[in-house]
Amino acid sequence: MSGELELPFRLDSQLTEVMRLRVQSLQQRGQKRQDGERLLRANEAVYRLDFSEQSLRFSHWTPRLAEAGRLTVTATSQLWTPDLTNLMTRQLLEPAGVFWRAPGASADAAAQCYDADAHEFGERIAELAKVRKVMYFLFEFQEGCGPQTVDCSITFVADS
């Protein structure tokens, strides 16, 4: 028996704030980041995906961009424990999911993406779901979109 399971990406505002404070702290002290450390940029936020089931097959993405813009979603590997360690560049997974809505596109037009990369990215998430209950992602907002204009989810087929 199998069924579709749509999982929404949820903003982790507390973790985003902690990562912003790390950047601010380094700037105030005049220090540099650790070698290989990945600092949060002003146009990025941390999102999480909670897995209620772990035997999943990727089906499709559902990015909704209310306005023209570009959203890049980058997953972090299972090695990052955001409550204990800083995010390191080597812990970011490739490929990233890149979704966009062109200026002048109708309000009900679906977001565009690089299909092969988005599919491979979804499959990697499904693989990691087998051993994880939660995953963290960096959402990078560009060209006019932001957290208030983006809603993104990913759909899997759950194998029971």
DSSP secondary structure of 46-105: EEEEE-S-S-EEEEEEEEEESSSEEEEEEEBPTT--TTTS--BGGGB-SSPEEEEE-TT-
Q: What are the backbone angles phi and psi of residue 78, rounded to the nearest 5°?
A: -70, -10
Residue whose entry in the numeric block shows the structure tokens 């499709």? 60
Confidence of residue 1 (pLDDT cuts 50, 70, 90): very low
Indicate if the pLDDT at residue 9 is higher than 90. yes
Q: List, for residues 36-45, the tens digit of each pLDDT value.
A: 999 999 999 9
What CATH architecture applies to the domain 2-159? Sandwich (2.60)
82-125 pLDDT per residue, tens: 777 889 999 999 999 999 999 888 877 889 999 999 999 999 99
Distance (Å, whole) CA 128 – CA 157: 15
Would you list the domain boundaries of the chain?
2-159
